[in-house]
A = this chain, B = another copy of it.
Amino acid sequence: MPHYHAIVDNQMQSPTWKDPVTAADRVLLEIQRAIVEGQIAPGSKISEPELAKRYDLSRAPLREALARLERCHLIERIPNAGARVVKLSVAGLVSLYQLRETLEGLACRLAAEHMTDAEIAQVQQLLDQHLSTQRVREGESYYQEAGDVDFHYRVILGSKNPYLINLLCDELYFIVRMYRVQLGMNGPRVSRAFDEHKAIINAIANRDGELADLLMRRHIGASRRNIETHFKQPHFKQPHFK
């Protein structure tokens, strides 16, 4: 089993994601998964007593978890009223990806400046590794997403900017993933994404931050348009307003 299997599963053991120690940590991960995968429907109300019972803990740690869910934009809270799971929308997707393009572009520029040669080489061999395993297990989109996440993750860490890392890996990661998962972003764009990744890391290896920035923004822009087209298509059941 390739090691990046674990990346999406047990939450990417790494500088940023420390393993859950408290009960609030654990329930946070569970609810995050449930929301991202749509098991808790977008727009649905979050009942504290119900979830507390459902996950078998008191409301105290649950509320801690809710605070962090709000932080990563998976729920919206209104004082004295309660929390609701966010609804997905084209406008939201565009806003989110505008931000992502800019931020990951910045990450590239900084990575070109701050990554060591060793780190860069590591990412390059990682890409080759992904490519080979992807060829072996053709069609398994799961691996593609893991590989994609892994690549972006490395570049972001390479920026060495704590604010940027926290933002992309902790605050925006899950809502981005929610869009991808709920709109069924499996399948295509696989080999093309690999090529784009390669071009980006090469630019970084050449210490060409400007180019890496440009390529990354283009890469993410393509990804956005790819998701955008899925909104009006059979894959996605439009939110039933209520």
The answer to whether B22 and A161 have CB atoms under 8 Å apart is no
Residues from chain B with a CB closer than 8 A to the CB of A87 are: none
The answer to whether A102 and B106 have CB atoms under 8 Å apart is yes
Interface residue? A227 (CB, 8 A): no
Kindly state the interface size class of chain A when it binds its partner.
20 to 34
The answer to whether A106 and B98 have CB atoms under 8 Å apart is yes
Contact of A80 among B22, B73, B103 (CB under 8 A): B22
CB distance from A9 to the nearest CB of B (A): 22
Given known contacts A64-B63, A68-B67, A102-B103, A21 and B95 CB-to-CB distance under 8 angstroms: no
How many Å lie between the Cα of A25 and that of B110 in the bound state? 36
Provide the main secondary structure of the chain A interface.
helix
Interface residue? A190 (CB, 8 A): no
The answer to whether B22 and A163 have CB atoms under 8 Å apart is no
Residues from chain B with a CB closer than 8 A to the CB of A73 are: 163
Residues from chain B with a CB closer than 8 A to the CB of A64 are: 63, 67
How many Å lie between the Cα of A110 and that of B97 in the bound state? 13
Residues from chain B with a CB closer than 8 A to the CB of A60 are: 60
How many Å lie between the Cα of A99 and that of B163 in the bound state? 8
Residues from chain B with a CB closer than 8 A to the CB of A167 are: 99, 167
Known: A96-B163, A99-B106, A102-B103. 5 other contacts (CB 8 A): A21-B79, A60-B60, A67-B67, A102-B105, A102-B106
